[in-house]
Structure 1
């Protein structure tokens, strides 16, 4: 039926707009420049080391012994609101490097990265200080993430409870230096997850803690997606990827080997790795 023939009072047909893009990575190359030849270059005095740094600055990349490591090669993809995207690949494939570039922490050699909103890399926005208590770190981490003082007060107890650091003692009142690496990682995730993010970048955080914490973490990522955010997850735990993500990017030797639905990409990736995480 044409629009002119529609009955009086009928509403116009609804148009379903596609989700808006939050991250566009366009033909990105990331290159590390390594100067020196290994352990021998680390010998000598600090004065000599400073001299090498200054000489390197004058002739960047042209000195003897300088070499390049091409960590990411020509990667392109678009992330949409509401997606949870896993990044998989064998060690050294460029997953964490790409994540840091999306967060704006690494420059690109070629290509462009566009983001809508401020990407938040888990473990950077919520930096923890070893000499302060967990409770104090929660307050500082929330403020650093852009929460108001009122929001910080309201969410503090919930963040500690979510992290589980007090499950076996009153650790939230102790300095961070008394925490295990797993406890610190759980608290770091809990601080970052207390706020809704346009783009949340998670590197291995969901692999920490017991199954109960992993389940809570995965539920929080799903809630983020429902609030129209985008989450990226780097993990060597294939089950975390399957349980959390609806799309997977497979990187190998810095190149994007496959991009598609989780089940399809993980099937090919596990065939490539022999089923190993």
Structure 2
């Protein structure tokens, strides 16, 4: 498997008035193996030793061509197993491409609902650790701590260990930490879906501010309302392929029509190994 390239995109042309190119994928494929979790049986030994574990290959992303520009907030939707999270991890350089190329103008910052936090440390301590990991000095972190805590809405819990937090509280904290700086490319994978309406409104303002600073945001969500409200563009991913790319209103309308047809037809696209 070839390593994913995360490097500077091709030069910007005069026609690219809507914003400079920040992310580019060319014929991107991501395939990985899922091994069976099966215990060896006595007859396997008697038959002449153990066989190698069997597996199946998951072709999670299939030839995706994508361009993203500064100032865009791009919603990514699709059913479970459509390759959304895999695509985000490939763009972030966390998964290797089996074929194709990925270019980014700077290192993408991937924020997921299951993102790692120090569970035994308090929310306040995690803000400090997260700020240091983002390259901020202790003085810069100290100047931003109060604003970050206010954004999370975790005043009564900020000095309690993370292990006592709900998934929504952890998501709020991690989003606040990730946006203490203004990354040029932010990938948000379902982290906004677990927040309440007040948090979503605060998140929208922060995403708008990031876009105003010529940033690019990808938002993976099953919440079609969030895609419509937060994004300037939407991509429908289906079985690893881009099925539609357009305005949020148009893409959400097409996707809802598809879901209705599936429901009326009695068919199910059941969840797959990739999401």
What TM-score bracket applies, with the shorter chain setting the length? 0.7 to 0.9
Shift of 1:209: 2.2
Distance 1:178 1:35 in 2: 34
Give matches, 1:234-273, under 5 Å.
234-273=220-259
2:116 matches 1:133? no
Q: 1:232 aligns with which of 204, 218, 235?
A: 218
Distance 1:17 1:270 in 2: 32
Q: TM-score, normalised by structure 2?
A: 0.82
Distance 1:79 1:33 in 2: 29
State the partner residue of 1:109: 98
Matched residue of 2:192: which SS? helix
| Residue pair 2:112, 2:190 contacting (<8 A) in 1 also | no
State the partner residue of 1:212: 198
2:185 matches 1:199? yes
Shift of 1:273: 1.1
State the partner residue of 2:71: 82
Distance 1:209 1:263 in 2: 22
Shift of 1:202: 0.1
Shift of 1:105: 0.5
Shift of 1:100: 0.7
Larger relative contact order (CA 8 Å, sep ≥ 6): 2
Matched residue of 1:228: which SS? coil
Distance 2:34 2:111 in 1: 27
Matched residue of 2:27: which SS? strand
Runs of 4+ that moved beyond 6 A = none
Matched residue of 1:121: which SS? strand
State the partner residue of 1:185: 171
Q: 1:65 aligns with which of 43, 54, 57?
A: 54
Counterparts in 2 of 1:156 and 1:123: CA distance versus 1, 3 Å: farther
Comparing 87-96 with 175-184, greater Cα deviation is found at 175-184
Give matches, 1:5-16, under 5 Å.
none
Shift of 1:34: 2.2
Q: TM-score, normalised by structure 1?
A: 0.81
Shift of 1:182: 1.2
Q: Aligned-residue CA RMSD in angstroms?
A: 2.5
Shift of 1:16: 8.5
Gaps of 5+ in 2: 1-14, 43-49, 264-275
2:19 matches 1:19? yes
Q: Which has the higher helix share?
A: 1
Give matches, 1:88-99, under 5 Å.
88-99=77-88
Shift of 1:262: 1.3
Larger radius of gyration: 1
Shift of 1:245: 0.5
